Amino acid sequence: MRRNHVALLLVTALALGAAACGAQEKERFAPPSDRGDPSAEPFGELGSLDRYLDEHWPDGAGGTVLLARDGEPVACEGRGLADRAAGTAADCDTVYDIGSVTKSFTAAAVLVLESSGDIELDAPVSRYLGRPPEDGRGITVHQLLTHTAGLPEALGDDYDPLSREEMITGALAAEPVSAPGDEYHYSNVGYSLLAALVEVVSGRDYERFLRDELFEPAGMTRTGYVLPDWDPERVAVEYDRHGTPHGRPYEHPWADDGPHWNLRGNGGLLSTATDMLAWYRALAGDDVLDQRAKDLMWEPHVPEPGLGTFYGYGWVIAEVPDRGTVVTHNGGNDWSLCRYAQLPDEGTMVFWVSNSAYRDGEWDLDEQEPEFSLDLAALARDAD
């Protein structure tokens, strides 16, 4: 799972002159001075989103953009093609790989188990994985959720065949990058361990637990790995920097029941803009998680060094001048990129995704991403 360190570099950019990082980062993320404030116009109707995307969405990139406010959709629009060979246009029901946004669902699953009394956040994960106490150096569930367990980022490539037991053994025996609890180090393998914990404690496989406890209560019918009955015509093909197709996400090397364990639990879920709107609505209520669990999930537990942001449980938390709190996560690989963000002080939510996020010499959505996401939130905020 490619780590996109926009982890709210959103904030570094959007702090409009807050303390800059290095010169390269300052140049990349400082807002341009020759553009007006998009929130100065009465955005909100589809035509207004249309005009904004005409100016800022790369011509030739496929994708979908959704804006919502106070639980209701403001606008949703597809751009470009989900499948170039078939000429299939992207729309609000196109299915995409949402990458590391998967972590927010893994964290929510852990909190479901914590709320029911099946696990304790400060307990060593070895207790739940059937391993001796010395295995894993006392790493706790909380440390896995906050990327402070001292684990490496990954054990191998996303698509290397790796079983659950091989992943657990490799993760707990891995050379630590820091002592547990001492430092923040973003770790995909840590979230795969959490997915394994969900399976062992619940007695259900990871995707079925998500379906039963999160997706179905939220009304999400097009989110998962292999359990949804995917219509291939609805699933976006991914394209690389040269425009070469790399197939649909489930056509990459996967096991029969989903991705191998270098990816499972930390990335690779498929979803749609429509389902992500349903997730936003579910998080506004108590049907999936009660307020106590959501407070734990969105608490800024640990700082992300050098970014001015914090990591909660499966979410990045930031304070943006004049905009308030941003709760967000992005995700991507070498082909696709997405961002989910909520601004609770403004009552807004943004989800956007592209199946062709990069093109050599033409566009790189990762580079324009921070400014782009908050501009979209402003459009939702000021909708008529």
Asked whether residue 384 carries a pLDDT value surpassing 80, the answer given is no
- The beta strands (E) that lie in 234-382 are given as 270-271, 302-304, 309-311, 316-320, 324-332, 337-343, 348-354, 358-359, 363-364
pLDDT of residue 45: 41
Asked whether residue 329 carries a pLDDT value surpassing 80, the answer given is yes
pLDDT of residue 137: 81
Radius of gyration of the chain (CA): 20
The reported pTM is: 0.89
pLDDT of residue 40: 33
Asked whether residue 165 carries a pLDDT value surpassing 70, the answer given is yes
CB-CB neighbours of 220 under 10 Å: 24
In this prediction, residues 345-349 reach a mean pLDDT of 96
CA distances from 145 to 1, 186, 254 (A): 17, 10, 25
Asked whether residue 180 carries a pLDDT value surpassing 60, the answer given is yes
In this prediction, residues 343-368 reach a mean pLDDT of 95
Q: How confident is the model at residue 371 (pLDDT cuts 50, 70, 90)?
A: confident
Asked whether residue 368 carries a pLDDT value surpassing 90, the answer given is no
Q: Residues of CATH 3.40.710.10 domain(s) within the chain?
A: 9-19+41-99+222-381
**Bridge partners, 65 (sequence order):** 77, 352
Domain 9-19+41-99+222-381 has CATH 3.40.710.10: yes
State pLDDT tens for residues 5-54.
444 444 444 433 232 232 222 222 222 233 333 333 333 443 489 999 99
Q: Percent of the chain, pLDDT > 90?
A: 83
Q: Which residues contact 299 (CB under 8 A, 6 or more apart)?
A: 312, 313, 317
- Greater confidence (227 vs 384) lies with 227
> Closest by alpha carbon to 92, among 246, 243, 222, 179?
222
CA distances from 362 to 60, 65, 208, 237, 367 (A): 10, 20, 41, 20, 12
User: How far is it, in rounded angstroms, from Cα 147 to Cα 181?
Assistant: 9
pLDDT of residue 136: 66
